[in-house]
Structures are given as structure tokens and as C-alpha cells.
Structure 1
Amino acid sequence: MSLSTISLHDKQFAPYLTASQITAAVRELAAHINRDYAGKQPLFVAVLNGSFMFAADLLKEIQLPCEITFIRVSSYQGTSSTGTVREIMGLQEEVAGRDLIILEDIVDSGHTMKGLLEQLRAKNPASVEVATLFLKPECLQHQLDLRYIGLSIPNDFIVGYGLDYDGLGRNLPDVYSVV
């Protein structure tokens, strides 16, 4: 099936990645996590709102005993970063001594992830790793050790598969980039 250009608010978006390409990347990430965490019981920490589809699909492929929790953080006010990560919906679980895997839809500047890693490491987990579906390496402004990266992409604004443009587009199974 051929994908076509879509309109969201005042912008046009062209097809970028198909649902099958995304599924392949998610399965590959899950395979790496299954190997690396054999014999362990990780706690997945999904960052809302964007990672909900990625988290759901990834966990369907995880073949380990595991748990998942959800947090919501923000480092943006409007369209610019404040440089400070603030919890909107916080972590309820005790994480000391546990293996944590943060699930994020996209890492671009790295501001949010840097702050989140600092906050989680302060709670003394056994380990903290990041699994991100998308990474924009040319946007990264912090040195981050990202162990699990689904796809490295250019600095294009994308929507779909959990990512949105002012609230729209999260429900799309494919990913589109702004034209």
C-alpha cells in the first residue's frame, strides 16, 4: 500500500518510515535486551506521552520476567527548553538496587534524558540504561551513553507512532516527516 502526504494543523507531512520498518527496529531492540538481561528482571520506565506505542510493542517482544511503569517529565515550555527537567507524573516504584531501562520515543537535544538519568541515578538503582526508538545525533547537546538505539535519523520533524505535532498524529502507525 502506498502512503500519501497528510495534513496536521498547518503543516504537510510526507511518508518517512512504514509500520513494518518500525516493527523491525523494535524487534531488534527487544532481541538485544533479551540477550543482555537474561537472568535479570528489569523495570522498564516508559516516558509519556510519546513512548506509549514503542513501550507496548517492545514489551510484547520481551521474553524476560519484567515490570513496566510510566513517568511524565517536561523540560520544555512552549517550543523551547527550560534546561530543567520537572516531573509531571512521577515514579511510584522503589528502584534502589533494580535494573532500569528507560523507554523513550526520541532523543534529540538530550536535555530531558540527561536530567532524567541524573534523577534516576540518585535513587541508587543497580543499573540504568536507555532504549530509544529514534535518535537525532546531529541535535544531541549532551554526552549520553545510549545503549539501545532503534534508528538514527536526521534532524527532521517527525510525527506518528506516538510522536505528535501539537497533539495530532500520535495514532498513526507509520512515521511522517514535515515537508
Structure 2
Amino acid sequence: MPQATISLHDKQFSPYLPARQIAESIQALAVRISQDYAGRQPLFVSVLNGSFMFTSDLLKELTIACEVAFIRVASYAGTSSTGEVKEILGLQEDVQGRDLIIVEDIVDTGHTMRALLDLLTAKKPASLAVATLFLKPECLQHELDIRYVGLEIPNDFIVGFGLDYDGLGRNYPDVYKAV
């Protein structure tokens, strides 16, 4: 059961999505991915820091052989996107000719995802797909093909299940929205 309200820095957050609903969404994504990649061995490229919980839970539900790698990028300052994406920790694996699935916690403006898709496409993978736990369609500023979407949500600022507000809130199993 989520806490009634949580305080992070100078903001209050109220319960939004319970852990159970998130888990069901991840299980449904895992079934689709396992079917789509049957007989293949994709490399999941997890975008740190926000997607660590999603990546962990998603991979535990998959029924296919797979690998995971991590990349860290940043485009947020506080509660809003800066619009500027900078790669912080690069991908060490050779991805040429591999089936890649980018695992992201949330896609809102699409700036980060557009930059990642461009970065990874240049490395010549066999295929490239995106799996995001949350998508804010009304915020998108780029046309993106996001094959696997856990939940579409409105333009609320959310924390929990890996998502943070200036470093706090990632540890909550439920998702909360700013009030």
C-alpha cells in the first residue's frame, strides 16, 4: 500500500500508480518481447539511472536468452528537461549486427531517446527497438517509433520505481505524482 503523501526536497507527491499495476505492465511487455525475439539473443541497453528498476524487473520476466548493458545520459535539471542531451557513460559493447532494445524509464519530450537512437543507429545494429515503462504522448517533440510501452500517462511529474526528483524518490516501489 503506497504512503499517503511523500515529501521530496520542496515538493509534495501523492500516490499515482501502485507497484502491482507497474508489475502487470512489465509482465505484459516481457511476454511481447519474448515472443518477438524468440530464437534471438537481444542486447538490452538500459538507460541509467532511472531505468534500473524497470530493467531488472523486465529481464526477470523474459523467457529468452539476452544480455544487458548500461548507458548513462542526462537531459533533466530539477523537474524539467533541459533539451540538451549529453552522454555521460558510454556503451562498451560492440553492437554492430546485434539486436538492440533500449530500456528507458520514461519518454516525454523525446530529446533523450532521439539522441540515443541516433547514437546507436550509427553503430550499425541489426535491429533497434525501444521499451519504455512510461510514455507521455502529449509531450513528445520528436516522431519516435516506440515499440514497447508499459503505460501511457499524462504530463504529470512523477517519482518512484527508479524515477527521481533531484536524486530522491527512486527507491519507492509505487509511483507518485507532484501535487
Q: TM-score category by the smaller chain?
A: over 0.9
CA distance in 2, matches of 1:116, 1:2: 33
The equivalent of 1:161 in structure 2 is: 161
Q: Deviations over 1:36-66 (max 9, x none)?
A: 0001000000000000000000000011110
RMSD: 1.2
Distance 1:175 1:134 in 2: 11
CA distance in 1, matches of 2:75, 2:55: 21
TM superposition shift of 1:81: 2.0
Unaligned segments of structure 2, at least 5 residues: none
Structure-2 separation of matches of 1:145 and 1:20: 27
Equivalent-residue separation in structure 1 for 2:81 and 2:89 (angstroms): 21
Change over 3 Å in CA distance of 1:133–1:2 after alignment to 2: closer
Distance 2:170 2:2 in 1: 20
Unaligned runs of 5+ in 1: none
Distance 2:89 2:70 in 1: 8
Identical pairs, percent: 70
1:75, distance to aligned residue in structure 2 (A): 3.1
Q: How many residues align?
A: 178
Number of the residue aligned with 2:82: 81
Contact 2:46–2:71 (CA<8 Å) still a contact in 1? yes
Alignment of 1:7-26 (within 5 A): 7-26=7-26
The alpha-carbon deviation at position 74 of structure 1 amounts to 2.0
What is the rounded CA distance, in whole Å, between the counterparts of 1:70 and 1:76 in structure 2? Answer: 18
Letter in structure 1 aligned against 2:111? H
Contact 2:2/2:15 (<8 A) preserved? no
> How far, CA to CA, are the matches of 2:132 and 2:2 in structure 1?
27
Q: TM-score by structure 1 length?
A: 0.96
3-state SS of the aligned residue for 1:87? Answer: strand
Asked if 1:42 corresponds to 2:57, the answer is no
Q: Distance in 1 between matches of 2:76 and 2:171?
A: 22
1:88 corresponds to which letter in structure 2? I
Whether 1:144 and 2:136 are equivalent positions in the alignment is no
Paired letter, 1:81: T
